[in-house]
Structure 1
């Protein structure tokens, strides 16, 4: 038997006798039946048994942790599973990188002295425009990033540039 006198969680769920050499016993203790139940529901006991038997003993605990994580993710999101969570987190990283770039641009613009010559070459862009180009609308959905100067507001108030401090109407 796995541990003590009670059968492991897998043998208890499958209603079978837990042998001394039960492959599930070290990884699915009887006090945590939900752990095996979710893995069994997503992968099946036979598949999990085959996976564990093919692995060296020192890698089985990590494999079980991965199976439990994937099974839990599959229960939350049956279509994407872990990939959905990974995509969401990657999108958050890119949004935070964009916010960091905007903050760094604003800091650089604040630290630059005002130009003494009024004539600026046309290819040069001022800091306000640079930070405006880096800013984006935050819709909350990942994958919907669009620069603010391309986003449209309502038909009543059509703005060419959406800047929180300055709004320029197309008609004025």
Structure 2
């Protein structure tokens, strides 16, 4: 007999969400696009923090084209919540806001210094322009 007749197609692996939830992964699985089988830790952290039903509800509330970004945000927040259950990602946000404030202050100071240098340069140019031109006389 032909071996191709007995060969069955390799079943696709269920997505990480369905594997974690011990359910069959269908073709229209909402989570399959965002939690592939090769990245089970992504869904594990999100599931632990938010719960599977809440993740599905949140994804259904978001427009299709923005879901990937929503999943990235959920994964980030979940990982930060697991690392720091009290503050989550607010520590990172606070740190970045402080960095922005520091950089804005540094930019302000640099602009002030640039303004001072420009004013000094203009003053020197004015002084040089006011000095009457003197033709040196050479004595032989």
> TM-score if structure 1 supplies the norm length?
0.55
Correspondence list, 1:1-172, <5 A: 5-110=12-117, 112=120
Higher deviation after alignment, 100-109 or 14-23: 100-109
Q: Structure 1 residues 108, 62: CA separation in 2 closer, same or farther (over 3 Å shift)?
A: closer
Tell me the SS of whatever aligns to 1:25.
coil
Larger radius of gyration: 2
Tell me which of the two structures has the higher relative contact order, counting C-alpha pairs closer than 8 angstroms and 6 or more residues apart. 2
Higher deviation after alignment, 30-39 or 44-53: 44-53
Name the structure where strand makes up a greater proportion of residues: 1
Q: Give 1:60 shift.
A: 2.5
> TM-score if structure 2 supplies the norm length?
0.65
Q: Give 1:110 shift.
A: 4.6
For 1:110 and 1:82, the matched residues in 2 are separated by 42
